[in-house]
Amino acid sequence: MNICVFGSGLVGRHIAVDIMKDNDNITLVDFNKDNLTEVKNRYEKIDIIESDVTKSENVNKILKNMDIAVNAVPGSIGFKALKDIINTGTDVVDIAFYPQDPFELDNLAKEKGVISIVDMGIAPGISNLLAGYSTTFTDKLIDVAIYVGGLPKVRKLPFEYKAVFSPADVIEEYTRPSRLVENGKIVVKPPLTEPEFLEFDNIGTLEAFNSDGLRTLIETVKSLNMKEKTLRYPGHREKMKLFADTGMFSMEKISVNGISVSPMDITAKLMFDHWKFTKDDRDFTVMRIIINGVKKGEIVKYTFDLYDEYDEKNGVHSMARTTGYTAAMGVRLIRDKRFGRVGISPPEFIGMEDGLKDYVLEGLKKRDIYFSESKISIKKE
C-alpha cells in the first residue's frame, strides 16, 4: 500500500521506519527539510516531501494516490490536519493529541467513508485500548485509574525532565483543565492537583498528578470512577505549578518594551533548551493501569504495567517507540482489514473488539515492548 506520514519528528519518523519494514511504500511529509534529509540519508526506501500541511491544498495533492495517512503533527495544527485528511477520503491513524474533541469529525468521516483511528499512541492510546478491553471481561466497572509518564533515566536539575514531544504540547498537559469521573459524574479539576506517590520497580518513587488524559474515555467507557494522572519525578510538579500560578503558561499576550508576546511562547522557547533530548540522553516510559470491576458478583482487580527503555541498538527513544509503534499497529489494523469501522474510532473501540487487544499487544511485544497483566479477586460485591 501507499502510506503517508505527516510529521518527521522523533515519533513520526519511527512510525514511517516501522511500517517500511512491511514493504509498504512510505512517504514522509514535513516542512522541516533538515528532518527529512536526516531520515532519507539513513533510510533510502522512504520517500520524502517537503510541504506545509497546514494548507489544505497541499494535503489534497499529497494524498491523491495514498491509501492510508498518519497524522503525527504537533497538537496545535493536528485537528485541522485530521479534518483535511478526512476530506480527501483517505483512511487515517492520528496521534496529534489536539485539545479538540475528535468526535466533532465523526459525521464527516462517515460521510467520506473514512476509517479514522484517533489517539493511537501510548496514552492516550494503549491506555484507552485496555480500558475498552476491560468492558469485555467485567459486568460493571468501578474504577479505572491510569498513571503514565515518559522520563529521562538520569535526573538533571532544575526540571528533571526531557520531552520527546514539543514543549508546547507538554505544557498543554500542565494547563488544560483535567476531566475525571467521580461517582458516575464528570468533574473538572485544575491540572497539577491531587498529587500522590507511587512505587515502581527499576525506578523508585514517582509523583502523579491530575492531567486531562481521559479524553474520549469519558464518553465511551462507563465506570463509576475514572482518572488519568501524569507521572514525573517528585518535585517537578511543584516547579510547573509555580510557572502556572505566576502566569508563565498564559497564552494571553502582554506588552514587553512595546513588543506584544505571550508568556507561553517565551516559556516554551526557553523550556526547549532544557527539555530537548540529546544523543546522549536515555529515557523510559512507565504506565500502570488499575481497573476494579464486578464479574459474576465478585469484585476483581486487574493491573496492567509497562516499563520500556531507550532502544540502544536502533537509537530510538522509548516514548517514540511506545507511541510510534502503537500508531504503526493502527495502520496495520486498517491495512490488513482487521478493523474497518467507518467514522472516528478511539482505541477503546479496538479494545472492545474480539482479539484486537492481543493483536496490538503482540505486535508491540515483537518490538520488545511488554505489558504485564495481573488479576486478583478482592471480595464479593
Q: What are phi and psi of 96, to 5 degrees?
A: -75, -25
> Number of C-alpha atoms within 13 angstroms, CB side, residue 259?
7
pLDDT of residue 316: 92
Query: What is the bridge-based pairing of β-strands 371-380 and 298-309?
Result: antiparallel
With both helix axes pointing from N to C terminus, report the angle between 318-335 and 356-365 in degrees, rounded to the nearest 10: 130
Residues of the chain with pLDDT under 70: 380-381
pLDDT of residue 381: 56
- Cross-strand partners of 199: 205
Instruction: Report the predicted TM-score, pTM, of the whole model to 2 decimal places.
Output: 0.92
**Could you read off the pLDDT of 303-316 as tens digits, one per residue?**
999 999 999 999 99
**Angstrom distances, CA of residue 275 to CA of 8, 14, 377:** 19, 20, 42
pLDDT of residue 100: 93
Q: Name, in order, each residue with C-beta under 8 angstroms of 337's C-beta and a sequence gap of 6 or more.
A: none
**Angstrom distances, CA of residue 35 to CA of 11, 45, 66, 326:** 12, 16, 22, 22
Q: Name, in order, each residue with C-beta under 8 angstroms of 289's C-beta and a sequence gap of 6 or more.
A: 127, 130, 131, 144, 145, 146, 147, 303, 304, 305
**Could you read off the pLDDT of 3-41 as tens digits, one per residue?**
999 999 889 999 999 999 998 899 999 999 999 999 999
Q: What are phi and psi of 241, to 5 degrees?
A: -65, -35
pLDDT of residue 163: 83
Distance from C-alpha of 173 to C-alpha of 330, rounded to nearest angstrom: 24
pLDDT of residue 278: 81
pLDDT of residue 276: 86
- Amino acid at position 122, single letter: I
Distance from C-alpha of 34 to C-alpha of 364, rounded to nearest angstrom: 29
What is the largest distance, in Å, between two alpha-carbon atoms of the chain?
Answer: 68
Contact between residue 143 and residue 224 where contact means Cβ atoms under 8 Å apart? yes
User: What structural domains does the chain harbor?
Assistant: 2-121+319-365 (3.40.50.720), 126-315+370-374 (3.30.360.10)
pLDDT of residue 380: 64
pLDDT of residue 331: 98
- Amino acid at position 348, single letter: E
Contact between residue 110 and residue 343 where contact means Cβ atoms under 8 Å apart? yes
